[in-house]
Amino acid sequence: MTFNVLSLFDGLSAGNLALERSGYKSGVDYNYYASEVDQYAINVASKNFPNIIQLGDVCGVKAKDLPPIDLIIAGSPCQGFSVAGKQTAFDHPESVLFFEFIRLLKEIRPKYFLLENVKMKKEFLDRITNEVSSCYPDFQGEDMFGGKIEPILIDSALVSAQSRKRYYWTNIPNITQPEDMGILLKDILLDDVEEPMLSNIYGGFKEKKPRVHTDKSVTIRTASGGGHIPSLIHTAKALDYMNRKVKGGRTHWDFAHHSDIKNDKSSCVTANFYKGVPYNVLVDAKCIRKVDPVEAERLQTIPDNYTAVVKTSNSRRYRMIGNSWTISVISHIFNNLDFEKKQ
């Protein structure tokens, strides 16, 4: 049999990766329609999955132009809901695109759907739950409470080396918490990552000479007592950056965007990874370095160098990876798909 998938805000095509990895699709073929506007993400997805049918901007996707769709998946933009942002919710110019998902869900009424988003205020959570439930007023299933399709909160820490709690709304039946696979941060780290210079990590620190990586280049390790401490940069300045007061008197350390290498799990991979400190560093007693793009892929359980199949910058790779899903969580959910069974 063949079924049709519509992926909204497709990004690097995490849905395709999850379907490929799930136990469901043995002997089953599917057509994959994707809506995405980031050309770099489109290039990466299409290179890895040449059969993707790209549809462009979600606002231009119409049900009448599509074949019958069996599954709609979406991770609508989270900027307006995230506790890390201003929490403007549906007033945010990107988060309001959630209603495009609702529009298509109502127009198409697929057999199955999956929506993902961040942890958020209860008022936002309830609004999304009510909107989603309104698309399936006659839904009956184990996940129905008080006439609503309630989300399940899953932490990616169960199937990966990062802590990443996300809500999932779906009518795919019998979704449970994944089994804890016991993957630790140390398990996914590369052994041969070149240690970056201090000026590459801490924004605002400049070297007087061009950045040539030698044994005397300014790295965190050398600035921490290796014997090559230039007058321009001191360890104290680096620490002052992380201790600088920000929101509510908190410091960059307080936000825990960095990860101690000795910790069991990494902090959450986000689209801000491309910014560097404090979002994208591994810390131990002797060294602070950026998370390598391959390590970031591993944190999201994306195959190594999946985002390197087309020529692009590491910054764009980090952004795509951070905007993606944890593939092993989605494949766990997809294991319960059954397109042959009647609703």
What is the tens place of the pLDDT at every residue in 214-260? 334 444 333 333 333 332 233 455 556 667 777 778 876 777 677 88
In this predicted model, what pLDDT tens digit does every residue of 269-315 receive, in sequence order? Answer: 888 777 765 667 777 655 567 788 999 999 999 999 999 999 999 88
Instruction: Report which DSSP code applies to 113.
Output: E
- Planar angle of CA 56, 149, 331, nearest 5 degrees: 55
Phi and psi at residue 217, in whole multiples of 5°? -65, 155
* Confidence (pLDDT) at 118: 83
d(CA 172, CA 39): 31
* Confidence (pLDDT) at 106: 94
Residue ranges of the domains in the chain?
A: 2-178+324-334, 185-321
Q: Which fold has domain 2-178+324-334?
A: Rossmann fold (3.40.50)
For the sheet with 112-118, list strands across it: 53-54, 29-35, 2-8, 71-74, 112-118, 165-170, 152-155
Report the CATH number of the 185-321 domain.
3.90.120
Number of CB atoms found within 10 A of residue 285's CB = 8
Report strand pairing: 112-118 vs 71-74: parallel
The single residue listed with the structure tokens 């290796």 is 226
* Confidence (pLDDT) at 25: 59
Q: Where are the alpha helices (DSSP H) in the chain?
A: 14-21, 39-48, 98-108, 122-134, 185-188, 198-201, 220-221, 235-243, 293-299, 314-323, 327-334
At residue 233, what is the residue type?
I
* Confidence (pLDDT) at 250: 82
Mean pLDDT by 10 residues, the chain (343 residues): 93 95 76 96 97 96 96 79 56 72 95 90 86 81 62 96 94 95 93 56 41 39 36 46 75 74 87 70 66 92 97 91 96 90 57
